[in-house]
Structure 1
Amino acid sequence: MKLFENTKVAFKLKSDSELERAYFLFRLIQNQPMVRIGTAVTNFALKAHLPVEGLIRSTVFDHFCGGVTEEDCLPNIEKMYAKGHVHSVLDYSVEGKEEEASFDDAVEKIVKIIQFSEEKDSIPFAVFKPTGFGRFALYQKIGEGKELTNDEKVEWERVKARFHRVCKLAHDKDVPLLIDAEESWMQDAADDLAEELMETYNKEKAIVFNTLQMYRHDRMDYLKELYQRAYQKGYHIGMKVVRGAYMEKERARAQEMGYPSPICKDKFTTDQNYDEAVQYMMEHKNMAIFAGTHNEQSSYLLMDLAKQYSIEKDDKRMWFGQLYGMSDHISFNLAKEGYNVAKYVPFGPVRDVMPYLIRRAEENTSVEGQTSRELNLLKTEKERRKL
């Protein structure tokens, strides 16, 4: 049996009813028109303040999210760690806020998670989004090289101070910190800031991790250039490597505004790009990788490279990551083999986490084979249990 086909290990934490719910959800997600209708209805219901939160909570929310608060998530986190050796990354998945007070609240959230992580072996990383700490339009303006007003300059200093506060704390507590990537037209400013933070806090090892979305065809060149700069200045690179989550949006904007799309021309090229980044990072010293992937071939590749370069399975510079509620066949089987594995566990108020959940559903319908793979594995496990 191939490693990732062991459904007994993959779903051992799921009760029969949870298995049925997962099967039901992925069957729904497989149906594209259904996802579109469901998204529209859900958005309408939430805007109109209809009482649908209970229904969302008991179905899609509980499958893809750990809970409403950090404390809510703990039973699931401890169960995955105790019974499956799978770690968790608490991901506060509230998006699109614009007020200074929200940004300050988000910082306090991350501070709390870093302190949480220091105490709990089950939570080895903290994570945040750049737009959790500052306005999207501000990153965009800086990335486009436009002149900031005096107010905006002061605002940007506040954003930088938020980043430095959490990164310094992460460094002092020895808790690695992942900075997620977002849309390409705001990412340059976030990348420059992440690089400044790596230079400051990654002297001894990688504490600050930026994120590379490898469906962008320019990311491989960026990684190589970053490595040269880090090598010259003597700091470590931490990088979460993912395929990416904003493909439809990126293509639509490029077409609308008449510039070349930053996205690879097809899935095959994206896969090649992803694997090339993994290979490059494993070949070069002073790099730590968090491989966020639901792709079996990419996971096998990283395992092979670790063997090739004599990197121990539990070396803290190499992590595999998957989203909570997805690809359990990869997460739990890898963890059983002794690799470092972490699930991204989103949490937050149901209403505020909906944009994240909708993106997950849309992503699953657009990635060919992803949903049918989940369904086949769930079906196999259902049959195995019957026998």
Structure 2
Amino acid sequence: MLKDLFIGLSQNQFLNSAAKKYGLKLGAQSVVAGTNIEETIRSIKELNAQGISCTVDNLGEFVYKREEATEAKEQILEVIEAIHENKADAHISLKPTQLGLDIDYNFCLENLREIVGRASKYDMFINIDMEDYSHLQPSFDLLDELSKEYSNVGTVIQAYFYRAEEDIKKYKDYRLRIVKGAYKEPEEYAYQDKKDIDTNFVKLIEWHLLNGKFTSIATHDHHVINHVKEFVKANNIPNDKFEFQMLYGFRKDMQLQLAKEGYNFTTYVPFGKDWYGYFMRRLAERPQNLNLVAKQVFTKKTNTMLGLAAGAFLLGRLTKRK
């Protein structure tokens, strides 16, 4: 029920619009690194100074207009140039739907090709983030096409999908980020029970650590992190074969501690005004995340808006049932 609530909130247009308008007043700076490139580069450099690398996400997805997809592409190209010019330790994460996947596959491919090509000039990695199941195979198809020309591209494996084990074996020679999964997927395609997802998550991590090129372990779960530490030690896996990843604004102390312990660490750095849907899906993915940022993010005004949106969501559910 809680996961459904957060997914519903992420799709609430009123709250999304309000978040864009009042983001900073609502505490958005605690979960996004900036609303523009200059602010974001400053945040990246602060993290770099503490031994932390970054992957940068230009917030926004599910774009249905060509001009919006083109605008997103140009924004990402600007970020690539800014990272290079500022000698920042960072790479790019992007979503195919933001670049036109729902408009036209070839249009999206050309946008991605331009981005990956520009990043390749600077020896910069591009990660293709995975979205919901309806976009899963097309996203892998885009990776296959881009890989014919470039080697600086990888993607994400979502542990809640039944097909994840097959996908991770197919793409073992790629740099992969392994996550649990943040969308609500039908039982036909994905595990529904948390224990099943957690078990598969650890299974995939272990397999790719032993057999893959480079593994990005994206989790805030200290139990998983401690397990990985023991696993790599027991199997003599060198630190340059993997990294831990966490979201900007979440478990800051643990991020710094892992970096200090000598592990490669990357913070997922989102920027832009379209932060609300992203944040709600992070809570849907792991409701415990709410506790990690509650004191930093939630004000009386935020809680009021959450209450209004939750009420609207529940009312909508009841109306549909009737």
TM-score range, shorter chain: 0.7 to 0.9
Counterpart mapping for 1:151-190 below 5 A: 155-190=104-139
Contact 1:212-1:241 at 8 Å conserved across structures: yes
- How far apart are the structure 1 equivalents of 2:237 and 2:85? 27
- 2:230 is aligned with what amino acid? D
- How far apart are the structure 1 equivalents of 2:70 and 2:232? 40
How far did residue 133 of structure 1 move?
Answer: 1.2
Contact 1:215-1:270 at 8 Å conserved across structures: yes
How far did residue 51 of structure 1 move?
Answer: 10
- How far apart are the structure 2 equivalents of 1:370 and 1:52? 22
Cα deviation digits, residues 133-152 of structure 1 (max 9, x gap): 1143x5xxxxxxxxxxxxxx
Cα deviation digits, residues 96-135 of structure 1 (max 9, x gap): 3211111111111222222233344543211110101114
In the alignment, structure 1 residue 342 sits paired with structure 2 residue 266: yes
Q: Report what 2:279 is aligned to.
A: 357
Contact 2:283-2:289 at 8 Å conserved across structures: no
Contact 2:91-2:124 at 8 Å conserved across structures: yes
- How far apart are the structure 2 equivalents of 1:81 and 1:362? 29
* Larger RCO of the pair (alpha carbons < 8 Å, separation 6+): 2
TM-score of the aligned structures, taking structure 1 as reference length: 0.67
Counterpart mapping for 1:1-387 below 5 A: 39=9, 43-44=13-14, 53-54=21-22, 56-82=23-49, 84-120=50-86, 122-136=88-102, 155-202=104-151, 207-227=152-172, 236-247=173-184, 250-251=185-186, 260-285=187-212, 287-313=213-239, 315=240, 317-349=241-273, 352-365=274-287, 369-372=288-291
Contact 2:56-2:90 at 8 Å conserved across structures: no
Cα deviation digits, residues 203-227 of structure 1 (max 9, x gap): xxxx211111111121012222344
- How far apart are the structure 1 equivalents of 2:117 and 2:256? 32
Cα deviation digits, residues 298-324 of structure 1 (max 9, x gap): 2223333433444443x2x42211111
SS at 1:174's partner residue? coil
- How far apart are the structure 2 equivalents of 1:46 and 1:274? 30
Cα deviation digits, residues 287-307 of structure 1 (max 9, x gap): 111211112222223333433
How far did residue 62 of structure 1 move?
Answer: 1.2
- How far apart are the structure 2 equivalents of 1:308 and 1:170? 36
- 2:211 is aligned with what amino acid? H
- How far apart are the structure 2 equivalents of 1:46 and 1:179? 24
SS at 1:200's partner residue? coil
- 1:107 is aligned with what amino acid? K
Larger Cα Rg: Structure 1 or Structure 2?
1
How far did residue 330 of structure 1 move?
Answer: 2.9
- 1:92 is aligned with what amino acid? N
Q: Report what 2:315 is aligned to.
A: none
Gap runs ≥5 in structure 1? 1-31, 139-154, 228-235, 252-259, 377-387
SS at 1:90's partner residue? strand
How far did residue 370 of structure 1 move?
Answer: 4.1
- How far apart are the structure 1 equivalents of 2:291 and 2:251? 12
Contact 1:110-1:127 at 8 Å conserved across structures: no
- How far apart are the structure 1 equivalents of 2:75 and 2:39? 14
CA RMSD of aligned residues (A): 3.0
The 1:208–1:224 alpha-carbon spacing in structure 2 relative to 1, beyond 3 Å, is same
- 2:279 is aligned with what amino acid? L
SS at 1:57's partner residue? coil
- How far apart are the structure 2 equivalents of 1:295 and 1:106? 32
Structure with higher helix content:
1
Gap runs ≥5 in structure 2? 296-322
Cα deviation digits, residues 247-302 of structure 1 (max 9, x gap): 2xx23xxxxxxxx43221411111111111111111115x1112111122222233
SS at 1:58's partner residue? coil
